[in-house]
Amino acid sequence: MTVRAVSAAPSLPRLFVQAALTQRGRGGDLPGYALRRSGVEVDRDHLLSYQRICRFNGGDVLPHSYPHLLGFPLQVQLMADRAFPLPLPGLVHLENQITAQRRLLADDVLDLTVSAEHLRAHPKGTLVDLVTAVEVDGQRVWEGRSTYLRRGRGDANAATPSPAPPMPRGQAAGVVRLPEGLGRAYAAVSGDVNPIHLHPLSARAMGFPRAIAHGMWTYARALSTLGPATSGAGSSHVWFQKPVLLPSTVEVVVGSATSPREPTVVGLRSAKEADRCHLVLTHSAGSSSGA
């Protein structure tokens, strides 16, 4: 696979428009190249804005999910290219997996590489993985894998992804109220200006009754309830289920691990309908000299 250098973060609004205008006539294999942006320095003001909106502690430690935000523009650039076989509008973010080899700090200078992998059939359409790798001084320190579904003609015999663990039961560890403008506020930080998140009218045009919260915000917000456990080496896996309509109130439920080796399970459920699950995630803390 060849690597194409990107000198600066691309404009996400421009890429979303480009993807919408070029969605017809796609197909074939994945592009045979990756995108790489080297020498990325963390903007501390941007980091603080992200920490605030997702309720992470402030400071120079990058939240477990923050590097995804830095690599997301490269993901969109890759998917907006006509060489990408699936049209970006309508892709559903099903899962996300993150592995951090060590604690990352705002002083770290990051090299980001994004590639598309594992185009495969699904009973409800086609799946693809967008992989973001982060290196510091030539050493891989973080990796994120985003799995997207393009709904359409599927293969009933295709293997399905691993199922999510059961939603934890019991009392909520916290109650989170999501205002109507959350999608616009998070878009201002993340750059993700997908219309389904911004306004009821634009969301309705895409088939939703109201605007919905960004999946990666719900992921980060659920992680933030675990506190410092998510700031060092470790891994997490999230399964997105029902979208969170804005405004709404959700509850965070944290399961009790029976042994230190078992991952912590966190769920996000509707405050009005306890059986309505928005996401389930697992988190396992690792250990390294940088943790």
Q: For residue range 116-146, what is the model confidence (pLDDT) as tens digits?
A: 999 999 999 999 999 999 999 999 999 999 9
Report yes or no on 290 lying in a domain: no
pLDDT score at 162: 83
pLDDT score at 230: 87
Report yes or no on 194 lying in a domain: yes
- Mean pLDDT (the chain) is 92
Q: Where are the beta strands (DSSP E) in 105-170?
A: 109-122, 125-136, 139-151
pLDDT score at 40: 97
Q: For residue range 213-222, what is the model confidence (pLDDT) as tens digits?
A: 999 999 999 9
Torsions phi, psi for 271 (to 5 deg): -70, -25
pLDDT tier, 24 (very low <50, low <70, confident <90, very high otherwise): confident
Angle of helix 44-54 relative to helix 182-190, nearest 10 degrees, comes to: 150
Whether residue 209 has a cis bond before it, omega within 30° of 0: no
pLDDT score at 206: 83
Cα–Cα distance for residue pair 55/217, rounded to 1 Å: 10
What is the domain extent for residue 192?
2-285
Q: Once rounded to an integer, what is the mean pLDDT over residues 2-26?
A: 91
Q: Once rounded to an integer, what is the mean pLDDT over residues 68-85?
A: 95
pLDDT score at 290: 39
Q: Is 60 exceeded by the pLDDT of residue 287?
A: no
Report yes or no on 291 lying in a domain: no
Number of domains composing the chain? 1
Q: What is the model's pTM?
A: 0.92
